[in-house]
Structure 1
């Protein structure tokens, strides 16, 4: 099966010009980019896709072995680039897909013109002087809850991840997105996400990089954004005046503006 069907690939925007590739995070699919796509598509070709196991992807292509680590997802990103012969890609990765993009760009930097890491975290667990935002016990409890009652976990955690309690419709949308994901696949992706440690990979990035963080984010606190920025030589850091872990939904205009400015810069 080709990548168009496997990953439910969609391309919008002008045929010429820079290509922006949007990669969604855990429990989501390409639909969560819909509020930033119109602004981006005025200037750029925009490629959207679903990770295998999410959205309209081919679920028969999923395997627990391949997708138990982020490297499996990075290979898929490179597979899309190879099969569609994409080069000079501006890759935008949200949440865990930020680290998936890092892994892909380290392996084949010639494919990528720019790397945009939206609310990234290379390590969720606190360790020594590093603050990821969670203790190991926190993450183990989170995974245990997710594995024992995925739908209940989704209803409890999605509003926390989204933030913006005064806009409950945002939390509800993320809850619905989580609940559409197959629980068995979600459990494997969750372990790959929350137990990953990609701190050492950041220094290997040679592609011009923008780190976008939110001023308040319980999943990726600002110490994490500062760490990612510090570890990637020459990177830029933008702090959005936004709350929560999904600014493409809670602050789409500011998110689109930050992406556009960086991709447009020579």
Structure 2
């Protein structure tokens, strides 16, 4: 099966331009980039895709073993890059896809020029001196809730994750995106996402990276952004005015400006 079919890959923009690959976060799909990606069509070859289990991806391609860790998703990224002969890639990863991009760039550093990490977290659970933002019991409770009532969890959590309570339509869009994801795959991907520990991977990255850290982000608080910045050699940290966890939707102009300044 081609990656184009498996991951619903779409390639637009300048055929001869530097490739710019956008990877969505948990419970989302490539549509979450609709306010950001078009801003780079004049200068870049823009590559959008859906993780298997999300959006228009081929659900039949989901393999529980392959996708039992974030490495399986990083393998997909590299396979897309190979199929479309992408080099010198600017990889833009939101939330869990920030770590997926880091893992891919560690494995094939020669393929990536720069990484843009939006709301990254290498570990969501507090651990000793490390603050991830969630206690183990909090996270277990969240995952139990997700297991028992995924639609209810989506309705409750989407507005919290999105932030911006004065713009309820944003939380509603995220909820609808969660609800459009295959529930069984979503449950498994949640565990892979929220129980992962990629702290030891950060020092292995050699690709220049931009960390975009939002204000009042309940999923990846500022202290986590600081930790990622401290452990990624040569990284740039930008504290955004945008609030919540999804500036690609809530503050696209600020997101685009920060990426442009980095590039």
**With structure 2 as the length reference, what TM-score do the two structures score?**
0.98
Structure 2 Cα separation of the partners of residues 112 and 93 of structure 1:
13
Q: Which runs of 5+ in 1 are unaligned?
A: none
Q: CA RMSD in A?
A: 0.8
Match of 1:3 in 2: 3
Structure 2 Cα separation of the partners of residues 106 and 227 of structure 1:
18
Match of 1:217 in 2: 217
Quick check: 62-71 or 175-184, which moved more? 62-71
Structure 2 Cα separation of the partners of residues 242 and 117 of structure 1:
15
1:244 aligns with 2:229: no
**C-alpha deviation, 1:118, in angstroms:** 0.5
**C-alpha deviation, 1:235, in angstroms:** 0.5
Structure 1 Cα separation of the partners of residues 253 and 112 of structure 2:
24
Quick check: 48-57 or 10-19, which moved more? 10-19
Structure 1 Cα separation of the partners of residues 14 and 112 of structure 2:
19
Structure 1 Cα separation of the partners of residues 242 and 136 of structure 2:
27
Quick check: 1-10 or 170-179, which moved more? 1-10
* TM-superposition CA deviations, 1:169-226 (whole Å, max 9, x none): 0000000000000110001100000000000100000001111110220110000000
Secondary structure of 2:215 counterpart: strand
Match of 1:26 in 2: 26
**C-alpha deviation, 1:38, in angstroms:** 1.9
| C-alpha contact 2:119 2:220 (8 A) present in aligned 1 | yes
Match of 1:109 in 2: 109
| C-alpha contact 2:32 2:249 (8 A) present in aligned 1 | yes
1:200 aligns with 2:200: yes
Secondary structure of 2:132 counterpart: coil
Structure 1 Cα separation of the partners of residues 33 and 236 of structure 2:
22
Match of 1:99 in 2: 99
Secondary structure of 2:204 counterpart: coil
1:176 aligns with 2:176: yes
Match of 2:55 in 1: 55
Structure 1 Cα separation of the partners of residues 239 and 45 of structure 2:
25
**C-alpha deviation, 1:17, in angstroms:** 2.1
Structure 1 residue ranges, 4+ long, deviating more than 2 angstroms after superposition: none
Secondary structure of 1:121 counterpart: coil
* TM-superposition CA deviations, 1:5-26 (whole Å, max 9, x none): 1111111212222211000010
Structure 1 Cα separation of the partners of residues 192 and 200 of structure 2:
16
Secondary structure of 1:229 counterpart: helix
| C-alpha contact 2:159 2:172 (8 A) present in aligned 1 | yes
Q: Which runs of 5+ in 2 are unaligned?
A: none
| C-alpha contact 2:22 2:37 (8 A) present in aligned 1 | no
Q: How many residues align?
A: 263
Secondary structure of 1:203 counterpart: helix
**C-alpha deviation, 1:261, in angstroms:** 2.0
Structure 1 Cα separation of the partners of residues 247 and 146 of structure 2:
24
Secondary structure of 2:165 counterpart: coil
Query: Could you say if the C-alpha distance between residues 38 and 234 of structure 1 is closer, same or farther in structure 2, counting changes exceeding 3 Å?
Result: same
Match of 1:255 in 2: 255
Structure 2 Cα separation of the partners of residues 241 and 43 of structure 1:
26
Secondary structure of 1:241 counterpart: strand
